[in-house]
Amino acid sequence: MKLLAFLAILLFPIFGTAQVEDSLQLEQYFAEAERRIAAYDFDGALRQLSTCYIRRPGHIPYLLRIGYCHTQLGRYPDAKLFYGEALKLDSLHTTALSALGSIYERERNYRKAQSYFTQLTQIDSTNSYYYKKSANIALHQGDAIHSLQQFIKAHSLNPADTEVITRLSTIYLAMDELGFAAEMIEKGLRLDQAYTEQRIGQLKEIIHFQQ
């Protein structure tokens, strides 16, 4: 036993040094992958990331970046596979959930996409982006009421989001809620003087109609 303990003491610095060197090397591969991603060289980034993944297959940052690269290359099945691996390690990982929801939205699988963003609004009820995504997906599903509710929530959390204001004004106009539509358009104009001539024209029409 004393001999084994002595050998362990002797070998520990060797193993420790090797682990540090390996970690540093992985950091370099990952940094190079990030550099290639910034240059839109997603295939090159994947080559760097594959080395990282082989050595540390359970490291979530590697899984997320691999999923991101495959998404940018249009390889959605591969992207979903790696994002799914990340969720196996952390079922509430918001980046993975959001990425999967967006992929299903691109594939026009709106039911599946909505399930992810509904889950995200439950995880973080203060994130206006999740409500905005949920609202846009509801519009694709033809569910105007749910879309309106989600856009209203998104607007309450981020009143300066002109995209949400535009969506709300359009929905209110379609519902003949001219007062609410005018209120939204006026908000948009106050936030952005270049809110588009079309919106100014709509506001003038609403005011004329109400008179």
Give residue 150's pLDDT: 98
Q: Do residues 25 and 10 lie in contact, with contact meaning Cβ atoms separated by under 8 Å?
A: no
> For the whole model, what pTM was predicted?
0.81
Q: Is the pLDDT of residue 195 over 90?
A: no
Q: Which residues contact 10 (CB under 8 A, 6 or more apart)?
A: none
Phi-psi region of 177 (alpha: psi -120 to 50; beta: other; left: phi over 0): beta
Give the pLDDT of residue 4.
45
What letter does residue 195 receive in the DSSP assignment? S
Using one digit for the tens of pLDDT, what is the confidence trace for 95-112? Answer: 999 999 999 999 999 999
Question: Above 80 in pLDDT, residue 39?
Answer: yes
